[in-house]
Amino acid sequence: MISYRPDYYDDFKCIADKCKNSCCIGWEIDVDSFSQERYEEISFISDKIKDGSYVLCEGDRCPFLRADGLCEQIIRYGGDILCDICREHPRFYNEYEDHTDMGLGLCCEEVCNIVLHKEDKFRLIPEREMSGEIKIIQDRSIPFSARIRKLDGRTFDLKQLVQDYIDLERLYPEWTEILNGIMEQDLSYGEVERFMDDNPVPMEQLVCYFLYRYPDKVWFSVISSILISCGCLCSKSKTFFDIVRMYSSEIEYSDLNISQLEKIYA
């Protein structure tokens, strides 16, 4: 079976202690059964597993995350000791009948740095023809807002859109602050479209990522680009990259949240 990956896929490497938003904090870490069997002879690791997950420390930190941001497991035993989720994150794999799509999730700040700074158009290795939706988003002959309208001609009620996100489950207080900050502003749809048009390349990379990862959810690509644009317009302390990373963490990695949005916008 053939596997496809974005051309930036092989550029990714975990930046470990240089990461300001460690994936070893705030996430439940499930340990696959094969790794659990391996760890049975390593009490240093097995003693910190309960009900198939690592027992998190204060602040929801992985028990193996050191104060300097490095992993004690890797320091002691090397990278091969890691369980599946720690070794693979933030990679994702979409399995289809005749191929697999591999990718990198934007919940990771280094992935955001790689993807959103990319100037060249999104492409896959090995090469394959892009979907019709991605071709629309990559049409740099027209403003980005016009490309979004070609994907979905609806004009969304921004206040209602943000309220729908507020009604979802949320992980971090910072994300709640961003959503509340949008609600406090009286944004117009024109302002959102101007933001998109002023930032066409990172917006293009963002939406291509969504379209590639969720090819059957074009609506999700559209409302995500709108909500993220609103957040960027209303937040004084967070960058475009910060908001994209938080959005991915809060929404993409919650099946419940995506399911709820699907009921409203699909």
pLDDT tens across 27-36, in order? 899 999 999 9
d(CA 185, CA 176): 15
Helix axes 255-265, 158-166, angle to 10 degrees: 150
pLDDT on residue 108: 97
> pTM value?
0.95
Q: Which residues of the chain have pLDDT under 70?
A: none
Paired tokens of 194: 């101007």
pLDDT on residue 178: 97
pLDDT on residue 239: 95
pLDDT on residue 179: 97
pLDDT on residue 264: 98
pLDDT on residue 82: 96
Q: Which residues of 45-71 are buried (b: 16+ CB within 10 A; e: fewer)?
A: beebbeeeebebeeeebbbbbeeeeeb
Give the helix/strand (H/E) hosting 233: helix 218-234
Q: Classify residue 178 by its DSSP letter.
A: H
Residue ranges with strand state E in the chain: 2-6, 49-50, 53-54, 91-95, 99-104, 124-125
Backbone dihedral angles phi then psi of residue 109, each to the nearest 5 degrees: -65, -35
pLDDT on residue 122: 98
Q: Which amino acid is at 221?
A: S
Q: Which amino acid is at 51?
A: D
- Before 63, cis peptide (omega within 30)? no
d(CA 167, CA 8): 35
- Before 126, cis peptide (omega within 30)? yes
| Every domain of the chain and the residues it spans | 24-88, 128-265
